[in-house]
Amino acid sequence: MKRIGDLDRSRAVALWLFFCATLVFAMIVVGGATRLTGSGLSITEWKPIMGALPPMNHADWVEAFDKYKAIPQYTEVNAGMSMAQFQYIFWWEWAHRLLGRLIGAVFALPFIAFLAFRAIPRRLIGRCAVLLALGGLQGLIGWWMVSSGLADRIDVAPERLATHLGLAFLIFAGLIWTGLEAWAGVDANRPSRGWTWAAGLLLGGVFVQCLLGGLVAGAKAGLIYTDWPMMNGAFFPPIAWGQGALAFLHDQGLVQLNHRIGAYALLFAGTFYAVQALRGRLDGGLGVAAVVFAGGLWFQAGLGVMTLIHAVPVTLGVLHQAVAALVLGVATANLWLVRRSRPRMFASTLR
């Protein structure tokens, strides 16, 4: 009889990881709302422990507001805002940080307990430890991002926002993958190399597109060129190449153009992949997963166009970021399924 620590799978561990993934998804959604409401710089200090407590009285609120008044975003954008308006943006940022602390506790405490009871499959202990470390790193990167907007800018640096968002997406995908591994156990199949590469490239493409979306959000590039499919009536926007390589991070026209090109490429590749998956009569639900993935891409693309032409209202902007996470989750599950199936050679479906 196997001891609990020798098991190759654990449904309890899988459910814990999936719950953590759900919390990270909520964090991505709340983070999007925090950004779109202009709330991200409302808390000007990083206090990992004491910062969990909000202002408790009027004097505390005045102190927090005075600290916000000292940064450029207030003096150049929000000068004259009322205490009630400040409290509105403060609560968004506070909720975002509190949710991050909650995720840390919900992951770390059960992880320690599962280790103590030897309930985590040995092959997954290292992966869970890496996810825990990435969660801690995410807190540091979050403050690194916020700090970029406290002195010389009225908002955070686009590359730092994209890094923060990208790590959130990476943790989300890692939780889903590890949860699936914990649920299903060890698999002895030898996956098709062609299908694995195809599914892996699509997953990588979705992740890169999410990073490009982070740059668009950070540069506020969705507020310009709000026509589609043209960009202010032209195929290509004017680009300030004088910035050098920084144009790829900061130029509003270029980052939006790159995000559009990425969407077109993903739509073509994802649709082609789904057609080939259906033609290949794949086992293990791969055909369904491929169609769901392609459908998610088309829905996200349409949602992106709607968000753009309406100049990024909060509701559509948050929904667009949420669906991006869902598409990434589907792409992750699709690759996991491909690696555990025995499909025909990918090349044979092209004939």
Given a contact cutoff of 8 angstroms between Cβ atoms, the answer to whether 188 and 180 are in contact is no
Q: How far apart are CA 15 and CA 117, in angstroms?
A: 16
Q: How far apart are CA 97 and CA 259, in angstroms?
A: 28
Q: How far apart are CA 165 and CA 145, in angstroms?
A: 10
Q: Among candidates 136, 135, 105, 112, which has minimal Cα distance to 13?
A: 112
259 is in an annotated binding site: yes
Q: How far apart are CA 317 and CA 313, in angstroms?
A: 6
Q: How far apart are CA 65 and CA 128, in angstroms?
A: 39
Given a contact cutoff of 8 angstroms between Cβ atoms, the answer to whether 80 and 72 are in contact is no
Q: How far apart are CA 113 and CA 236, in angstroms?
A: 55
For 55, left (φ over 0), alpha (ψ -120 to 50), or beta? beta
Token couple for 35: 């950004």
Distances in Å between the Cα of 324 and the Cα atoms of 201, 205, 296, 303 are 16, 12, 9, 10
Given a contact cutoff of 8 angstroms between Cβ atoms, the answer to whether 43 and 93 are in contact is yes
Residue 224: what are its φ and ψ, rounded to 5°? -120, 165
Give me the residues paired with residue 231 across strands: 234
Q: Among candidates 45, 66, 64, which has minimal Cα distance to 55?
A: 64
Residue 329: count other Cβ atoms within 10 Å of its Cβ.
Answer: 21
Q: Whose structure tokens read 């025909």?
A: 344
For 74, left (φ over 0), alpha (ψ -120 to 50), or beta? alpha
* Amino acid letter for position 341: S
320 is in an annotated binding site: yes
Binding residues for heme are: 259, 320
Binding residues are: 259, 320
